[in-house]
Copies of this chain bind each other. A is one copy, B any other.
Amino acid sequence: MTAYKDMTKEQLMQEKSELVKKYEEIKGYGLNLDMSRGKPGKEQLDITLPMMDVLASSSDYKCENGMDVRNYGVMDGIPEMKRLLVELLGYKAEQMILYGNSSLNVMYDTVARSMLFGVQGCTPWCKLDKVKFLCPVPGYDRHFAITQQFNIEMINIPLKEDGPDMDMVEELVSKDEAIKGIWCVPKYSNPTGVTYSDEVVKRFAALKPAAKDFRIFWDNAYAIHHLYADNQDELLNLGAECEKAGNPNIYYEFCSTSKVTFPGSGVAALISSVENIQEIKKELTIQTIGHDKVNQLRHVRFFQNADGVKAHMMKHADIIRPKFETVLDRLEQELAPLQIATWTVPKGGYFISLNTLEGCAKKVVEKCKEAGVVMTSAGATYPYGKDPMDSNIRIAPTFPSADELAKAAEVFILCVKLVSVEKLLDA
């Protein structure tokens, strides 16, 4: 195969006419496939089914501290579920609040609380003329949606192989008091799959922000979501580094079991310094009597301990690894020689991030949609939906079945080729 850039105009035109023919053929199939969201597939949901037998009418509903989990009380979560997270993530129980089923909701709430009541005695953000967040890009669209909703100005920060551009982060936060936060997915990042290096984590911990109420929003969504049993990334514990650096209150860490058990029915958690957690609990006590403790008990009785969770995650890996490989193999075979796209090869998480030639992403996603394959909207991985190069596309291979995925990948690759060849012909 010849790289497109090395083709003559005639060769490109010949290629285009073949691609158009194939594309029209595929449009006729009436496909209805979805590679847009990081949703587990049915087979993944099924491995958690035994959890549904753990609590039955004959079960004991007391948690360790003697409380009946069916009743009101224990606002911040039952001790044994906290301990499970402590084992997995390496914090102390006093640094945690367990929530309901959605860590996105916890992040939203954390921003909302800062807007309304301020952070550790500082002016509530809603009383300030301007609030800004740093946004490593490409990143997670739902993070950007939250800050946009609150009218918080978002500033793009390039996300490199080892994490965000820390020179830029350090400079910006040190001189601009309006910068109150940064969105991070530090492990198996959404969508690029990178894990922040030890150096990057340490530089985060050592930040000297102009704003006293600046916080790192550390969305550790894929903390244990490896694709391989051996070839795994390690992420430094942010809280421990922040303590060492004399910056114990600078971070909020978020996590959940959404992609461990059931996405709609898991347990989420907020982790931070004891001081931050105490402040938040004081406000939370007005907001709710408590979250679903029956479901917390169900989770911990099912997993027993961290090893139980880790073994479960390997079952997920065994299901989704082949899906990643299907897409990656096809990209490698069919796109690599043409030199019209680059992509990430993640070791965990839920996404492959692909960059087309400049100015092609929107058209590719549109063409896919016309042919019955839904991709994440082009631009979604950037604040305000604006990818300055119009080149990044997030591929989510986990939800479709193996068959569907092969077909979806075929359509996607065809669309990348077609839009690329059209671009080169237009140039």
Contacts and interface: CB of A to CB of B under 8 A. Distances in A.
Interface stretch (A69-77, A82-90, A362-370): A69-77
Interface stretch (A101-109, A232-240, A309-317): A101-109
A49 B70 CA distance: 10
A34 to B, nearest CB: 11
Interface in A386-426: none
A108 B113 CA distance: 12
Contacts of A262: 70-71, 294
Contacts of A100: 100-101, 291-292
A288 B104 contact: yes
A290 interface: yes
A294 B70 CA distance: 16
Contacts of A71: 39-40, 45, 262-264
B102 A290 contact: yes
Interface stretch (A7-15, A142-150, A167-175, A196-204): A142-150
A358 interface: no
A39 B74 CA distance: 13
Number of copies: 2
A245 interface: no
Interface string A43-85: 0010011111101111101000000111111000000000000
Contacts of A101: 100, 290-292
A264 B290 contact: yes
Nearest to A108: B287
Interface string A101-141: 11011001000100111000000101100000000000000
Contacts of A112: 112, 116
Contact of A126 (B37, B126, B264, B287): B126
A348 B258 CA distance: 39
Interface in A289-328: 289-295
Nearest to A59: B52
Contacts of A126: 115-116, 124, 126-127
Nearest to A67: B264
A53 B115 CA distance: 43
Interface in A253-307: 258, 262-265, 283, 286-295
A244 interface: no
Contacts of A105: 287-288
A5 interface: no
Q: Which of A48, A264, A265 has the most CB of B within 10 A?
A: A264
Interface in A192-218: none
A42 interface: yes
Given A53-B57, A59-B52, A116-B112, A264 B292 contact: yes
Nearest to A74: B264
A263 B72 contact: yes
A150 B283 CA distance: 11
Contacts of A102: 288-291
A115 B287 CA distance: 14
A293 B48 CA distance: 15
Given A70-B262, A108-B288, A124-B126, 5 more contacts: A42-B68, A69-B265, A101-B291, A102-B289, A146-B287
| For the complex of A and B, 7 pairs with smallest distance between CB atoms | A265-B294, A49-B57, A70-B262, A105-B288, A72-B263, A149-B286, A45-B70
20 contacts: A39-B72, A40-B71, A45-B68, A45-B70, A52-B56, A71-B262, A71-B264, A100-B292, A101-B292, A102-B288, A102-B290, A104-B289, A105-B287, A108-B286, A116-B116, A117-B149, A126-B127, A142-B289, A263-B289, A264-B292
